[in-house]
Amino acid sequence: MRLDRFIQRNTLHGRQACRALIAAGRVKVCTEVCRDLHCDVDSFTTVSLDDQVLQAREARYLMLHKPAGVVSSTEHDEHRTVLDLLPERLRHDLHLAGRLDLKTTGLMLLTNDGAWSRKVTQPEEKIPKVYTVRTKDPVAPQTAEVFLRGIYFATEDITTLPAKLESIDSHTSRLTLFEGRYHQVKRMFGHLRNEVVGLHREKVGQLSLGDLQPGQYRELSAAERINIFTAGDTSYDP
Ligand code: URA
């Protein structure tokens, strides 16, 4: 939003008065006087008028290691939620950038920046998500080929983007997806009549859990939050 509109919306002054306040140097943006009426203000820009803060909201970006049995929603009647794993002071305005099933473990992202989470979860961004998958039956030899071609999901009327499957052992695989459809991993293996019995998300983009233990979280650095949009696996272009 433009600075003059922002001042008008957040004070009792009219349009001309707001412009005059800005021209007179009474408005600061990020602690600096700003006389540019068109200066772009977003929901995390600190803005003050006569040194009275009109808006100061810190953008937050967290990664969390979700344990099994914790639900990835912000509230639930029966189970603990991922927000319950965070200190009280961080809980109030965070939301999830993507979900994992109740039994799935691994990397989850939380933020209060709606634009960032929308971008992270958009299939068009093709951010790679890497899973370790354990299956009930041995993985059939044609599975990698089928996943690479894509599988038709009638419910959404879409074909999954080419996915990369690597064998770890007969019942364990590493699967890289470039989108995040509902129960996607289970449905892909279900298509080949194989049941997923263990699922863990290792990586999202270039982010991996590192030493983070189940139930622990940490803040992302500015570079991490930006670099998530650059391909994590440049050898593979779906
Ligand atoms: N795919 C699934 O089926 N479940 C998850 O939790 C994540 C991806």
pLDDT of residue 157: 96
Q: At 202, which helix (H) or strand (E)?
A: strand 196-204
Catalytic residue among 40, 50, 101, 237: 101
First to last CA, the chain: 36
55 has pLDDT over 90: no
With bands split at pLDDT 50, 70 and 90, how would you rate the model's confidence at 56?
Answer: confident
Beta strands in 57-179 (DSSP E): 61-66, 95-96, 105-111, 129-135, 152-153, 158-159, 164-169, 172-177
Residues 6+ apart with CB under 8 A from 144: 164, 165, 166, 167
Pick the CATH number of 3-55 from 3.40.630.30, 3.10.290.10, 3.30.1480.10, 3.40.50.2000: 3.10.290.10
Active site residue 93: no
Q: Does the CB atom of residue 100 touch ligand 1 within 6 A?
A: yes
Q: Does position 233 have pLDDT exceeding 60, yes or no?
A: no
Segments of the chain assigned to CATH 3.10.290.10: 3-55
User: Whose structure tokens read 């950038």?
Assistant: 97
CATH 3.30.2350.10 residue ranges in the chain? 61-227
Tell whether the model's pLDDT for residue 238 goes beyond 50. Answer: no
Length of the chain: 238
Q: Give the single-character DSSP code of 95.
A: E
Class of domain 61-227: alpha beta
Mean pLDDT along residues 61-71: 97
Question: Closest Cα to atom 3, ligand 1: which residue?
Answer: 183
pLDDT band for position 74 (cuts 50, 70, 90): confident
Which residue's CA is the closest to the ligand 1 atom numbered 7?
Answer: 100
Position 58 pLDDT exceeds 90:
no
Give residue-wise pLDDT tens across range 117-140.
999 998 889 999 999 999 999 999
* Confidence band of 231 (pLDDT split at 50, 70, 90): low
Q: Does 199 contact ligand 1 (Cβ within 6 A)?
A: yes
Rg of the chain taking only CA atoms, in angstroms:
23
Report the separation in Å between the CA atom of 187 and the middle of ligand 1, taken as the mean of its atom positions. 9
Q: Mean per-residue pLDDT for 57-64?
A: 93
Q: DSSP label at 154? A: T
Least confident of 58-62, 136-140, 144-148: 58-62
Alpha carbon dihedral 39, 43, 49, 51, in 10-degree steps, equals: -120
Place of tokens 């998500």: 129
Mean pLDDT of 147-154: 97
For residue 98, pLDDT beyond 90: yes
